[in-house]
Structure 1
Amino acid sequence: MTEPLDPEMFDPLCPSDLMPIRVGDKWAGMIIRCLGHGPRRFSELRVPLRGITAKVLTQSLRALERDGLVARTVYAGPAQRVEYALTPLGRSLLGPLDVMCAWAEEHWDELLDAREASPAPGRAG
């Protein structure tokens, strides 16, 4: 059995849309990191990804599955359960994601300054 995910795995003050480098959609990188230590059920993923709706998590998981990064396994039985796990291709993204996260952490202040200096979308500068 895999250790439970840390509910504080992702800093709520660190919006994922601040990361200028993305894999898939806004949530894909965080989902891949959640699956880095083994298969997880949908409800387990919702713990550290508390800012995501069930609908968006489902859409992101389907996109990751379509792209060959995540495998969905349905276990039949009286209490049917579904687990999501990284494929070998998805697992190969863990190293690059670690590098991107380290880069973002190193440049965090610069990223925040640039965002604050930039006019909001739809506003003239």
Structure 2
Amino acid sequence: MIVHESDALAKTNRINMLFDFYEKLLTEKQQTFLKYYFHDDYTLGEIAAEFDITRQAVYEHVKRAGAVLESYESKLGLLRKHTAAENWLSKLELLAEQTEPNEELRTKLQDIARGLREEVHGTT
């Protein structure tokens, strides 16, 4: 089976996003292996050497932790909800830009979008 680079990148991005939402629900070992593999871009061999285990064992840990993240997402849907909120915010911001002649409405829409974006990203 050939894995295209864009597919691998998409998978890495998804795992990283899921990790951001569900990191604290993983075991310490799962967190460590995912951080090394997906965040720090270590190879399976490098991780295996670091922990004195086989590459296959590292692969199984990473695979299992990824499955756990996907399981949390299927139950809780935090990434799905976050993505939907981002899409709605983008639409609101675009609408605000299109209300050019009505400066008051444009400002109100931009304020709403800014407030929602702060809530979504927890930067209030």
TM range (shorter): 0.3 to 0.5
Greater Rg by CA: 2
Query: Which structure dedicates a bigger proportion of its chain to strand?
Result: 1
TM-score of the superposition, structure 1-length normalised?
0.35
TM-score of the superposition, structure 2-length normalised?
0.36
| Higher relative contact order (Cα pairs below 8 Å, separated by 6+ residues) | 1
